[in-house]
Chains A and B, each alone.
Chain A
C-alpha cells in the first residue's frame, strides 16, 4: 500500500461546481436590500429624489431613522450621502437649482410642507458639520446664541443654566468652564467640534445630523466625539455621514450604504460589516471598490 501519496493538488476545480453564494448578489441595482423601516421611526423618508440643476443626485431613497438610534450613511465620494443628510433639515433649500421630491416626515409631519418655517425646523433637527465652525464669539455666546434668538429662556440665570447643561452634555464643561468668556475659535479642533455640538444641543433638538464630524480631528479627539455620540443617543436621534467605515461600525446601530445616488443596502451595522448582502456593499466595506 502506497501510503505516502503524491501531494494533493488543492484548488483543481471540478468542472460545473456550484460556487455562487446567495449572500452577495451581482453588482446591478434594482431596489434597496434590507429593511429601511424602523419600528420607532422619528424621521420617515419615502421615495426621496434630489436634483441639482436637473441632474439627479438621489434616486428614490426610502429610509427611517428611529428614536434614540444612530444611523450611519456610508459610501464613496459623490454617492449622495451628504445630499440625503442635508435633505433631512432642508439645508438643500439654500442651494440654487436644488429640487427635492418625495416625502420626509418628522414625527408624522411633512418637513417640506410649504407652510413650514425652516428656522424652528432646523432647531428641531440640528446639524454638525465636517469642519468645526464656532461663531467668532465667546464660548458662552456660541452656546447662548441659539436659545436667545429662539426665546427659549426668560432670565440670565436660566440661560446660564442652559449653557452649562449643553456644555456638560457635549462633554466640554470641565475644559471650558473657566474660559467661557474667551473666543470659541481659541479652543482645539476637537473642543471646537464639541462646542458646535453643545450649540446644537442648546436649542433642544430632537434629531442631530452629523456630516463627517470627525474628518478634521485627530484620533483622540475622534474617540471623544464617538464616546459623546454614544452618550447623546440616549436622548437624541442621530444620523451621521462618515467616510470612516470603522467609525460607522463603532458608533451606529444601523448602516446605510449609498452608491451613485442609490441606497443600495441598509441593515444592522453588525450585518453590514460582517455579511453584507449586496456585492457593491461588500466591495466597499472590504476596500475592493475601484
Chain B
C-alpha cells in the first residue's frame, strides 16, 4: 500500500509520522546487531564481545525513551485518527517488542559470560549447530517483519506468521537433541542449560517478529489479530487478500 505516513495536508504531520517509523526501524537495526553480536560471541567464545553487547543495551533503552516521547507528543498535538492512530499505536507496541529483542540479546550475552567466566567449556560446534540455525530463523523473521513494517506489507507479514510455525518446530527438535548430549555426558549439564536459555531467547526474538507482523495487519486492515491461531489467521488473511 502507498506510504501510510504520507499525504496529509499538514506536511509536518507526514514528517513526524515518518520520523517515528524511522526511529523504530533504526531500533530494529540495533537489536538485530545486538542479537547477531551475542550469537557471534557465543559461537566464537568471545567474552569481550558479549560484554560489549551488554554495554550497548542502554542504547536500546535510549531509543525506547525517544520513541515514547515522540508518540506522546504526536498523540497530544495531532490527535491521530483512523490509519494514523493505528500506525502510532502499532509503532508503540513494536517499540516494546524490539525492546524485548534487545533484552533477549542481552540474555544470550550473559550465557556467554556464564559459560566462559564460570569455567565451563566453550560448547562444541555440534552442540552450537542448533543455536546457529535458530539464530538464522529468528533474525530472518525479525528482518522480514521490519521490512513489512516499512512497506505496510501484509503479504510479507503472512510469511512471518508461517516462519513462526517453523521456528516453534525447530526449537522443539533442538531441545530434544540437546537432552541427548546431557544423557550421554551428564557433565555437560551446565553448558546445555546455558544453551537452552540462549535458544529460548532466540525463540523469543523470533516470536517478536511474529508480534510485529500482527501489528502490520492491524495498521493495514484495522484488525487486531493478536492471540489468534496463526495457521487459521494465515488462511483467513490469504482468502481475503486481493489477487495479483
Contacts and interface: CB of A to CB of B under 8 A. Distances in A.
B190 interface: no
A9 B151 CA distance: 12
B138 to A, nearest CB: 13
Interface in A1-39: 1-5, 7-14, 16-24
B240 A22 contact: yes
B221 A23 contact: yes
B43 to A, nearest CB: 6
Contacts of B86: 274-275
A290 interface: yes
A13 B146 CA distance: 11
A280 to B, nearest CB: 12
Contacts of A24: 83
B1 A19 contact: yes
A20 B10 CA distance: 25
Contacts of A22: 221, 240-242
Contact of A11 (B8, B33, B147): B147
A20 B1 contact: yes
Given A4-B40, A274-B222, A14 B156 contact: yes
Nearest to A9: B147
Contacts of A282: 82-83
Given A4-B36, A21-B1, A275-B86, 14 more contacts: A1-B43, A3-B36, A10-B29, A10-B146, A11-B151, A14-B153, A16-B244, A17-B153, A17-B156, A18-B241, A23-B222, A249-B81, A274-B82, A288-B8
Interface residues of A, number: 38
5 contacts: A13-B151, A14-B156, A21-B220, A274-B222, A288-B7
A216 B121 CA distance: 77
Nearest to A16: B244
Contacts of B146: 8, 10
A245 interface: yes
Interface string B64-105: 000000000000000111111110000000000000000000
Contacts of B242: 18, 20, 22
Nearest to B238: A18
Contacts of B151: 11, 13, 17, 19
A4 B37 contact: yes
Contacts of A66: none
A168 B5 CA distance: 47
Nearest to A24: B83
Contacts of A17: 151, 153, 155-156
Closest 5 CB pairs of A and B: A3-B40, A275-B222, A11-B150, A18-B155, A3-B36
Contacts of A249: 81
Contacts of B43: 1, 3
Interface string A251-290: 0000000000000000000000111100001110111111
Contacts of B1: 19-21
Given A4-B33, A19-B155, A289 B81 contact: no
Interface in B35-51: 36-37, 39-41, 43-44
Measured as residues with beta carbon below 8 angstroms from the partner, the interface class of chain B is: 35 or more
Interface of B: 1, 7-10, 13, 25, 28-29, 32-33, 36-37, 39-41, 43-44, 79-86, 132, 135, 139, 143, 146-147, 149-156, 220-222, 240-242, 244
A246 interface: yes
Contact of B152 (A9, A12, A19): A19
B40 A273 contact: no
A281 B81 CA distance: 11
Contact of B82 (A3, A7, A20, A286): A286
A53 B231 CA distance: 59
B81 A274 contact: yes
A12 B147 CA distance: 7
Given A1-B132, A13-B151, A285 B9 contact: no
A20 B43 CA distance: 42
Nearest to B151: A13
A14 B155 CA distance: 10
A191 to B, nearest CB: 28
Nearest to A12: B147
Interface string A183-208: 00000000000000000000000000
A21 B154 contact: yes
Given A16-B244, A21-B220, A285 B81 contact: yes
B237 to A, nearest CB: 9
Contacts of B25: 10-11
Contacts of B82: 273-276, 281-282, 285-286
